[in-house]
Amino acid sequence: MKETVPLLGLETEYGIIREDLEDSDPVEESMKLLKSCPQKSVFSKWNYSQENSHQDMRGFKVRSLAQDEEEDAFCAEDRKRPYSYLEMKCDRVLSNGARFYNDHTHPEYSTPECNSLFSLVAHDVAGERIVEESTRIRNQELGKKAVQVFKNNTDYSGHSYGTHDNYLITRETPFDFLVKSLLPFIVTRQLYAGAGKVGSENSKTKNYKGLQLAQRSDFIEKILSIETMTQRPIINTRDEPHASRNQYRRLHLIMGDANMSAYATALKVGSTMLVLDLIAKGAHLPDIELENPVEDVLKVSQDKTRNATLKRTSGKSITSLEIQEAYLECVEQNNSERDKESQWVIQEWEKTLHELKHCPDKLSNRIDWAIKEKLFSEFMESENLDWGDPMIQSLDLEYHNLDPDRGLYRGLEQEKEVLTLLSEKEVSRAIEFPPQGTRAKIRGDAVNKESEKIKSIHWTGIEFENGDLLDLTGVINQEDVGKIRMAG
């Protein structure tokens, strides 16, 4: 596969609760969790001056965002706390190149930039393990398992927190063409990428009973928007590449779910990579334009046949499965030089769509919503319950619990009831070491070897106490990494 998507990353906000307190403070709990992190890291030195979330890919800069207002509200409340802004953020840059910090009410783990699919998936799972270990240490301090952390996207109280997949793409591709080409794919990607959700928190479908495909679908309100906390879009327009602006964009997709299944994560990111590769090449893509893409997001998620019929602007109809099959066919036709990873994605994408169409029960060992459907259906039958019982929503939350003694997915892993994509060696390596051939390797090595000498750090560079500055803005591939090493 031609390398048109040189860097990939995942950001995951984790749900957190202190069960022994009636009114626990998620800010405090997130801070204490971060302080419990045992990984070697640079603490509280993130360079916020390099952040710029107000530039829009549509060619303008917004004056303010809804998150700014929320930030102001947080700041007003935070002034009552005995901490500075940086103390509350508790930013850690780890020796594996990742960033782990407090996003106000959620601990957030951002993987290092990866240049291969399976490396990214390993680093995502490594993030789970690091968060889990930090939780264990925190509970050890408390003397009880009071803090519970969940890799999911909703607390069933109307709040949604994100899992964002990120792709560095060429700026040569017109943004309008990117949106038109990608939109039907993203709307229907939840067929295999959805983490599953019991019931609905969307005001239009609050009486829905059953299992949705995805958790974020309840909260999508627009096709395009720079916002991430309100008016959430199918495609986010934030233009913050963390790379050379004249060459690259960072496609920041906020509609994805937090997958417990590493297989589902790999298929979600891998299929998106291949579609983006086609778009960058200007290859022939499915000529599909949906009449109501925002409404279709929820329709696809809640259709109990798992194959919603959607209206096209042409007046014709198409099913969600047909859309995915059309994209897969285009990828197969235009991907003659397949490396090992793209071959795996095409093979598993085809297998998953075939089984979804003909024998969906076979998905219950690797696709999160299908695993939940089997698990919860068996429980309801044994206990004579239905989808509307609050107990099933409780089970839904526990599916995502990182605690190996409580988490339902963790239990299925231990019983070998779900597919294992990665070896323990691969995960352990990702916990300790940054991905090779990326600027994250430079960042991770600097943290590992020179942590006491670092004054500030960011995705795009490192400033040392002696005034030296290592600019990583243009560092993308193995060749760039080599040049930086020689310069150092």
Q: Per-residue pLDDT tens for 440-479?
A: 999 999 999 999 999 999 999 999 999 999 999 999 988 8
The predicted structure's pLDDT at residue 68? 59
Q: Per-residue pLDDT tens for 86-133?
A: 888 999 999 999 999 999 899 999 999 999 999 999 999 999 999 999
Q: Is residue 258 part of a domain?
A: yes
Would you call 103 a catalytic residue per the annotation? yes
CATH code at 301?
3.30.590
Q: Is residue 307 part of a domain?
A: yes
Q: Is residue 389 part of a domain?
A: yes
Q: Which of 5, 357, 446, 387 is nearest to 196 (CA)?
A: 387
Catalytic residue among 56, 68, 103, 445: 103
Buried b (16+ CB within 10 A) or exposed e, 50-70: eeebbbbbeeeeeeebebeee
For residue 361, pLDDT over 70 is answered with: yes
Q: Is residue 447 part of a domain?
A: no
For tokens 């352990």, name the residue.
428
Q: Per-residue pLDDT tens for 270-328?
A: 999 999 999 999 988 999 999 999 999 999 999 999 999 999 999 999 999 999 999 99
Residue 181 corresponds to which tokens in the numbers above? 């080409």
Q: Is residue 39 part of a domain?
A: yes
Domain count, the chain: 1
The predicted structure's pLDDT at residue 88? 87
CA distance 344 to 194: 20
Q: Is residue 259 part of a domain?
A: yes
pTM greater than 0.85 (yes/no): yes
Neighbours of 259 (CB within 10 A): 30
Q: Is residue 437 part of a domain?
A: no
Angle, helices 117-142/26-35, rounded to nearest 10 degrees:
100
Q: Is residue 478 part of a domain?
A: no
CA distance 194 to 205: 18
For 267, the domain range is 8-429
